[in-house]
Structure 1
Amino acid sequence: MNHRFLSVVGLAAAIAFTTSCSTNKAATDNTSSKVVTGKAAAAQTADSIPVWAPKRHGFNPSRTLDHDLLHTKLRVSFNWEKQHLNGLAELTLKPYFYPQDKLTLDAKGMDIHAVNLMKGYDGTPLKYEYNGEKLTINLGKTYTRIEEYTIEIDYTAKPNELKVGGSDAITQDKGLYFINPLGNDPYKPKQIWTQGETEANSAWFPTIDTPNERMTQEIYITVDPKYTTLSNGIFMYSRKNADGTKTDYWKQELPHAPYLTMMAIGEYAVVRDKWRNKEVNYYVEPAYKNTAKKVFGNTPEMMEFFTKKLGVEYPWAKYSQVVVRDFVSGAMENTSASTFMEDLQMNERELLDKHWDNIIAHELFHQWFGDYVTTESWANLPLNEAFANYSEYLWAEHKYGPDEAAYLQMDELSQYLDEAETKREPLIRYQYGDREDMFDSHSYAKGGRVLHMLRKYVGDEAWWASLNRYLTQHKYTAVEVAELRMAFEDVTGQDLMWFFDQWFLQPGHPELKVTHTYENGQLNLRVQQLQDTAYMPVYRLPLEVAVWANGKLTDYPIVIDKADQTFTLPATAQPQLVLFDADQQLLGTIDHDKTKQELVYQFNNSKQLSPKLETMVRLQEQLTDPEVLKLLQNALQDDYWVVRSAAISALSQLESDKANSVKEAIAKLARQDKKGAVRADAILALANWEGEKYKQLYLDAMNDSSYIVNAAGILGYAGTGAADTKERLAKFEKEKGEEVILALSSFYAVQGGPQKYDWFVRNIRQGKGGALYYLLQSFGAFLAANPQTNTPESIELLKQLAQNHNIYYVRGAAYQALMVMSEKPEVQQILTEIKESETDKRLLEMYN
């Protein structure tokens, strides 16, 4: 995933042609150990309770299983006009342990037409009660745990009539989605797809919708023959029907949780691949069939890598990956058939700047952690998501090297610390307010970092052996965190309760103040734990301290286990550098003051990414110092692109007349750097200093193969005020690259004039995700500058987005754009309607 995208996007959205481009937040805000102490540490509410203090809700246990769902057979067809699913479900069950004479199923928002007890092909009607959420069936007799029975349910699912909920990770939960069902939108194909997590599959078939249940399944999908279908397991056959439709039959022979059941239906090109003897296929829209392997093509290598490391072969019959429109999440790990957002469909030029290996690895690793072994309750969600997140690090480390892996982990730390300013909860938390609350930067980002610390503590051999034991012992079952701990304890022979208690079961993170002094051949290292111990523990932290003295490096292992602790370490001379947490693996904040000389030495001698970036951030206030300037000039030549970009970001803060010594070096990067993001950063830095001088450079950038460089060139050239700016920019109006569109929108917002209205509307209709959010911000500025475009059409466009888009922040951006026209009575009424129909608490807080 390209973490650089938002640096240019942010510029475009801010309508800033002369702002220097900074490196990604994940590459800067994380690097200064002093900076990341976090505002949350001091944030208090009026009654002195921290704003991030853990919230206490009712206890949420795993679902009690009265029945065991053994097998589900579905026969489904669709009414596109009404957006209904017509279904016939056969469920085979037995009592879990105790005798039962009633069965209660999850079935949300359905019409139930008939319920029958099946004996072969013969059905006996059963009495039932249905309240719109639960279907309770009187079985007609009492069954024991050794007696199986089969229920047939004839039903219609109506997902659009459900009240919609969701979370940051999964923005809607209606289970079944019709995309462009009437074919009215020329920019979208007609599709149907499902999204089951957390408990949304019960919106399209009756089931026991809980992660601690498992079933095998068959699905018969009846559709127009022009559509390709995908589901879990193996494609058995396709049958032509007398009415001109076809029925595709998919069979999942190994048990999995009901939330992992999926369908995807659309006009797809199926690009075929293979791992060992198993099919690996990529389902994309036909326009992207030639680049599908360039996006997904590392999948077989990932499967081999994870299989060998885990010692557990990829467990399912096939692995398919499908891209859908308007997906409500980034991706979803359905068993043997993962679903991805449309951003993964890219053309050749987009592939120059971006890859999606992280998200592809994430969903693949879930096939073991989440699908093969599944969390027993949403309270234990990190047993799914923390492992999937950490797989991104594992793959990056294997494929792209330690710097790329470290960059990912810095991003993870930044995400968690940002969230920790207002929220600190245990990773494993039974007292959540809503199960959707579990899908946060704790379960994902913090969880992945905690697993990294566990790996560092036990060592690689024990790490992989423990994961093998965990997967082998618990395959096709539901688990809780104690079972992960016991797997590691069985392998290592150690009691690891202390580690799991402080990192999985307690909230927060260590906030450390580190100081060091040298005297009489001894280095005194003082470590204070400053976190609020009314809510967080005093941590036990085994780590290493790297000390350079007389140019020699020595690593000292220490164990911090007190609130205030001093360590005395031997040193042959005044240390040139003391690097706390030598492995840079700690989840927490570290405030460790260092002199300029120590930071310079750190940059030149530490081989790790984080200390290098920390140096550049902490020396930014000394940019005119010759030694600092030399360091940053050297950083422009670093092997890793993030370091080069960070150096450009730091140097761009110089006043123009003080930057003369670095301008040509940066201009060289703008022309020649192999990384498009670095070229773009360099172009924008030069534009910040001297617009006119580098006009030809901007023109060259506008012809670059990279969209992100095109965008930088557009912003740079527009900043010159050249008379032919509009003419030159008009040549890019048909480009598909999001960065180019956003760069144009930032200019057109204030200087395009009303004639650019159609361009805005066309791109908004085709926009997606984060890019659409920024585009709507520019459109709001455009409407304010061009009141003659405040037409009923523009009002209706924004109204539909504000009411119906599945991403909450896009709805919010559309609402804000409508506010530009709030003097109109009809717009005031629409804004009121939007507020009344909105359910997302984040937007309601903003609207009110």
Structure 2
Amino acid sequence: MNHRFLSIVGLASAMALSSGCSTNKAVVDTKPQKTVATKPAAPVDTTPVWTAKKYSFNPSRTKENDLLHTTLRISFDWQKQYLHGLAEITAKPYFYPQNTLVLDAKGMEIHSVHLMKGYDGTPLKFDYNGKKLNINLGKSYTRDEKYTLEIDYTAKPNELPTGGSDAITDDKGLYFINPLGDDPEKPRQIWTQGETEASSAWFPTIDSPNERMTQEIYITVDPKYKTLSNGVFMYSRQNADGTKTDYWKQELPHAPYLAMLAIGDFAVVKDKWRDREVNYYVEPAYKGTAKKIFGNTPEMMEFFSKKLGVLYPWPKYAQVVVRDFVSGAMENTSASTFMEDLQLNERELLDKNWDGIIAHELFHQWFGDYVTTESWANLPLNESFANYSEYLWAEHKYGADEAAYLQLDELGQYLDEATEKREPLIRYYYKDREDMFDSHSYAKGGRVLHMLRNLVGDDAWWASLNLYLTRNKFSDVEVAELRMAFEDVTGQDLMWFFDQWFMQPGHPELKVTQSYANGQLQLHVEQVQDTAYAPVYRLPLKVAVWSGGKKQVDPIIVDKADQAFSINVATQPELVLFDSDQQLLGVVAHQKSQAELIYQFNNAGQFGAKMEALAMLEDQVDNPQVLTMYQKALQDKYWRVRSIAINALSKLKEGQIAAIEPAIAKMATQDEKGAVRSDAILALAGWDGKKYQPLFAKAMQDSSYQAAAAAILAYSGTGATDTMERLAKYEREKNGEIKLALATIYAVQSGPEKYDWFIKQLKTAKGGELYYLLQSYGAYLASNSQTNTTEAINLLADLAMNHQLYYVRAAAYQALMVMSEKPEVQQLMEQIKQKEKDERLLEMYGK
């Protein structure tokens, strides 16, 4: 699964008008982090806030019975939002004899349970507590004896208690979207989401990742709807009552949490990879752009299949986009589900692509579906690989700079999280399995895999992954099996690597100092992380040295808390680049002079090295030598470097910009990348908006929505008397960035005349867009007290109580606070608190 923890901060970065295109799941930051010195070890009488917490041990689930096959015959009550099901389950004891079968079945009504012999059924006794279905099998079975049960049930997902996490915002398993058809802006859909253990909310099963089954699903629906499920579509049968039944068959075993279905009025756009169907299920309005959104999928399948030496393992691959999805995407076997944000029109595709999330879910078809983690404690065996696939694809398709950007971005995500928590990657001591879906399992895990690849080399990396997949196919694994695959290929004992990176919390924090005398470069490396909570690391690294204009690279192994290295260098170095492969997951404090950083930007050639130079010298941009470096950055071939340069230069005062203003004005209209044009427009607006009023007016028609939105903001800041007249022309625009630009302006520059516009947008917006609109709407209400109507109060209260996404509920609550002097609003806010079940919001409301 990808794009899981859409935190409010993450959404802020992802939705920022001036940010560039990114396929990452969380924080999108085009400004590199400065390397800072780390703090010394904490005093012995204090405990850092990020210290790994010790909860109860969470082992893999004991296998008493082995689930073999599930056949489901299901239909739906849209009015009540029920699923009516007949489940036929074939199982056998795993090893020891068994006379009972315990199934997970959440919030269901169990009508009957029968033991089946052919078509004949014998009623069985059972106990059901709303979560577990305990069935008396009537006799004791041995591990050589199979049995088949038929369970007649009704699933009632909306009657389940609310759960979820940052990553997966709801866990009721089965979702009816606009079930009564009373929202004209939203299609009617039904879809499922099984991870972590929510498949048992729509069919009885052993809901554990270390279980596997084959499956058949017969889905009865109105003929106007398309259906999708795992495996192969076998046939569709017309029924006497006017319905149809679609039959899907999954012949290869997979974990129950990967079972899925999706029902709706989808356009199905057909593609293929080799001899296999590759189909894209989208809303009809996006039929024309579906191949542009998902069209790299066959190339990805070929790339991953060849590199892994294991062909894509399932008989087809489908990708479906649904409304109101509870996460970013989900890797259901042979049929991945995606959030609606992936649906883009032609113009939006100029600014964005979703290759990262598409690659992520595809790679899961191997790492997660073909080979599955045995427990949620081992989740990084799924998510670290899927996360790293984004890097692998970017490196292959878009080049070293884009891959290096992802490397830095993901490292930043982990380091941000590490200020509050530091846990081992493999965590048996967690409070809740949902806690595993964090920047450790994703971002840190992906970076650890990058270091492992760097350590063993590309040939051994791919050979080890091939062995891991072929040895463990259709089975469940723990981290030792990954280690043994690498050891068996390389002949090395890699326990040290897996122990320090997978089994222990934290990361290295290095302080590097250097000196030069008599042909010797002396490097002093200290590991300053608090070793009460993290190990002294073993770090195989490379050091690049430029001397007399020539580069040499020397390998070193840092494995002590305090260590010195001596390197032969002919003359005083112009630059020393520690960890020259830029692959270390950690923090390095290595002080460099202005001259060294400028040399680094001009000569190191790597994106990360350039970013460090730009970041460290940002505060000196008015220095002539640094300014020259930034002028060169404006011409860099990689667009993110150009954007970062513009954003740094925009801080110059008006009297300092003569040398760069013409170049940035040209970039505002001529740069090939919309995100760069956007940044250039905003830079010009910050200097002398009135001077560039005609440019902004023209840029409002830019082909890029990002650039057009920036121009709207910039033009509005000039004080032009026709601003509101010009902006009114964009009020019918459906693009989120344009709407958010208008909302930002209207929040502070308009009056009651924009009340209806805000109400309309709030009723139709979704996800992150709605979150930001609520931010602007709160500001609007604060400056327009006459618009604090009963309609506005009720709309915000409904969102705060009932919206599916917790961060939208939070934003609606905050907007209500603007009107908290009203007694009726105070009463509503208390009702919202009473109804809310999400601990994150309860904590916020309590404060």
Give the structure-1-normalised TM-score.
Answer: 0.97
* 1:227 match: 225
* 2:336 match: 338
* 2:35 match: 33
CA distance in 2, matches of 1:134, 1:5: 37
Structure 1 runs (4+) deviating above 6 angstroms are 1-5, 42-46
Quick one: which of 552, 555, 569 aligns to 2:553?
555
Aligned residue runs from structure 1 range 191-590, under 5 A: 191-590=189-588
Question: C-alpha deviations, 1:497-549, integer Å up to 9, x for none?
Answer: 00000000000000111111101110000111010100100000001000000
State the Cα distance separating 1:839 from its structure 2 match: 2.4
* 1:141 match: 139
Residue 63 of structure 1 contacts residue 377 of structure 1 at CA under 8 Å; is this kept in 2?
A: yes
Q: More relative contact order in 1 or in 2 (CA 8 Å, sep 6+)? A: 1
Question: Helix, strand or coil for the counterpart of 1:348?
Answer: coil
State the Cα distance separating 1:4 from its structure 2 match: 12
User: Alpha carbons of 1:770 and 1:814: their partners in 2 closer, same or farther (altered >3 Å)?
Assistant: same
Question: Helix, strand or coil for the counterpart of 1:27?
Answer: coil
CA distance in 1, matches of 2:843, 2:10: 30
CA distance in 2, matches of 1:108, 1:301: 40
State the Cα distance separating 1:792 from its structure 2 match: 2.1
User: Alpha carbons of 1:42 and 1:805: their partners in 2 closer, same or farther (altered >3 Å)?
Assistant: farther
State the Cα distance separating 1:754 from its structure 2 match: 1.3
Residue 548 of structure 1 contacts residue 575 of structure 1 at CA under 8 Å; is this kept in 2?
A: yes
CA distance in 2, matches of 1:350, 1:12: 14
* 1:629 match: 627
State the Cα distance separating 1:12 from its structure 2 match: 9.3
* 2:747 match: 749
Aligned residue runs from structure 1 range 734-745, under 5 A: 734-745=732-743
Residue 10 of structure 2 contacts residue 28 of structure 2 at CA under 8 Å; is this kept in 1?
A: no
Question: C-alpha deviations, 1:162-183, integer Å up to 9, x for none?
Answer: 1121111111100000001111
CA distance in 2, matches of 1:145, 1:754: 73
* 1:122 match: 120
Bigger mean CA deviation after superposition, 612-621 or 68-77? 612-621
State the Cα distance separating 1:796 from its structure 2 match: 1.9
Quick one: which of 67, 76, 79 aligns to 1:78?
76
Residue 14 of structure 2 contacts residue 28 of structure 2 at CA under 8 Å; is this kept in 1?
A: no
CA distance in 2, matches of 1:25, 1:652: 20
Bigger mean CA deviation after superposition, 798-807 or 334-343? 798-807
State the Cα distance separating 1:779 from its structure 2 match: 0.6
CA distance in 1, matches of 2:835, 2:439: 28
Residue 521 of structure 1 contacts residue 570 of structure 1 at CA under 8 Å; is this kept in 2?
A: yes
CA distance in 2, matches of 1:235, 1:44: 60
Aligned residue runs from structure 1 range 148-227, under 5 A: 148-227=146-225
State the Cα distance separating 1:304 from its structure 2 match: 0.2
Bigger mean CA deviation after superposition, 46-55 or 262-271? 46-55
Residue 293 of structure 2 contacts residue 342 of structure 2 at CA under 8 Å; is this kept in 1?
A: yes
Residue 41 of structure 2 contacts residue 530 of structure 2 at CA under 8 Å; is this kept in 1?
A: no
Residue 18 of structure 2 contacts residue 710 of structure 2 at CA under 8 Å; is this kept in 1?
A: no
Residue 40 of structure 2 contacts residue 528 of structure 2 at CA under 8 Å; is this kept in 1?
A: no
Question: Helix, strand or coil for the counterpart of 2:422?
Answer: coil
CA distance in 1, matches of 2:633, 2:798: 48
Quick one: which of 716, 724, 727 aligns to 2:725?
727
Residue 12 of structure 1 contacts residue 746 of structure 1 at CA under 8 Å; is this kept in 2?
A: no
State the Cα distance separating 1:666 from its structure 2 match: 0.4
* 1:17 match: none
Residue 17 of structure 2 contacts residue 737 of structure 2 at CA under 8 Å; is this kept in 1?
A: no
User: Alpha carbons of 1:713 and 1:574: their partners in 2 closer, same or farther (altered >3 Å)?
Assistant: same
Question: C-alpha deviations, 1:699-752, integer Å up to 9, x for none?
Answer: 111011111011100000000011000000000011111111110000111222
Quick one: which of 813, 836, 839 aligns to 1:838?
836
Quick one: which of 598, 621, 642 aligns to 2:596?
598
CA distance in 1, matches of 2:18, 2:455: 44
Q: Which amino acid in the other structure matches residue 403 of structure 1?
A: D
Identity fraction in percent: 72
Residue 187 of structure 1 contacts residue 765 of structure 1 at CA under 8 Å; is this kept in 2?
A: no
Bigger mean CA deviation after superposition, 774-783 or 789-798? 789-798
Question: Helix, strand or coil for the counterpart of 1:587?
Answer: coil
Bigger mean CA deviation after superposition, 797-806 or 352-361? 797-806
Question: C-alpha deviations, 1:624-645, integer Å up to 9, x for none?
Answer: 2111111101110000001000
Residue 110 of structure 2 contacts residue 153 of structure 2 at CA under 8 Å; is this kept in 1?
A: yes
Aligned residue runs from structure 1 range 88-99, under 5 A: 88-99=86-97
* 2:641 match: 643
CA distance in 2, matches of 1:609, 1:501: 30
User: Alpha carbons of 1:544 and 1:216: their partners in 2 closer, same or farther (altered >3 Å)?
Assistant: same
Bigger mean CA deviation after superposition, 748-757 or 420-429? 748-757
Question: C-alpha deviations, 1:87-146, integer Å up to 9, x for none?
Answer: 110000000000000110000000111111111111111000000000000010000000
User: Alpha carbons of 1:749 and 1:45: their partners in 2 closer, same or farther (altered >3 Å)?
Assistant: farther
Q: Which amino acid in the other structure matches residue 29 of structure 2?
A: A
State the Cα distance separating 1:783 from its structure 2 match: 1.3
CA distance in 2, matches of 1:196, 1:558: 46
Residue 33 of structure 1 contacts residue 589 of structure 1 at CA under 8 Å; is this kept in 2?
A: yes
User: Alpha carbons of 1:563 and 1:4: their partners in 2 closer, same or farther (altered >3 Å)?
Assistant: closer
Question: C-alpha deviations, 1:293-313, integer Å up to 9, x for none?
Answer: 000000000000000000000
Residue 388 of structure 2 contacts residue 449 of structure 2 at CA under 8 Å; is this kept in 1?
A: yes
Residue 27 of structure 1 contacts residue 613 of structure 1 at CA under 8 Å; is this kept in 2?
A: no
Bigger mean CA deviation after superposition, 595-604 or 41-50? 41-50
Question: C-alpha deviations, 1:455-498, integer Å up to 9, x for none?
Answer: 00000000000000000000000000000000000000000000
* 1:618 match: 616
State the Cα distance separating 1:586 from its structure 2 match: 0.2
| Unmatched runs of 5 consecutive residues or more in structure 2 | 4-8, 20-26
CA distance in 1, matches of 2:186, 2:583: 44
CA distance in 2, matches of 1:537, 1:46: 16
Residue 27 of structure 1 contacts residue 646 of structure 1 at CA under 8 Å; is this kept in 2?
A: yes
Question: Helix, strand or coil for the counterpart of 1:387?
Answer: helix
Question: Helix, strand or coil for the counterpart of 1:183?
Answer: coil
State the Cα distance separating 1:777 from its structure 2 match: 0.2
User: Alpha carbons of 1:9 and 1:491: their partners in 2 closer, same or farther (altered >3 Å)?
Assistant: closer
CA distance in 1, matches of 2:621, 2:342: 40
User: Alpha carbons of 1:7 and 1:385: their partners in 2 closer, same or farther (altered >3 Å)?
Assistant: closer
* 1:760 match: 758
CA distance in 2, matches of 1:658, 1:117: 84
Give the structure-2-normalised TM-score.
Answer: 0.97
Residue 545 of structure 1 contacts residue 578 of structure 1 at CA under 8 Å; is this kept in 2?
A: yes
CA distance in 2, matches of 1:531, 1:767: 45
Q: Which amino acid in the other structure matches residue 455 of structure 2?
A: Y
State the Cα distance separating 1:771 from its structure 2 match: 1.9
Question: Helix, strand or coil for the counterpart of 1:164?
Answer: coil
State the Cα distance separating 1:186 from its structure 2 match: 1.4
Q: Which amino acid in the other structure matches residue 829 of structure 1?
A: Q
State the Cα distance separating 1:406 from its structure 2 match: 0.6
Quick one: which of 673, 690, 702 aligns to 2:700?
702
Question: Helix, strand or coil for the counterpart of 1:739?
Answer: helix
CA distance in 1, matches of 2:332, 2:566: 53
Bigger mean CA deviation after superposition, 646-655 or 296-305? 646-655
CA distance in 2, matches of 1:723, 1:352: 31
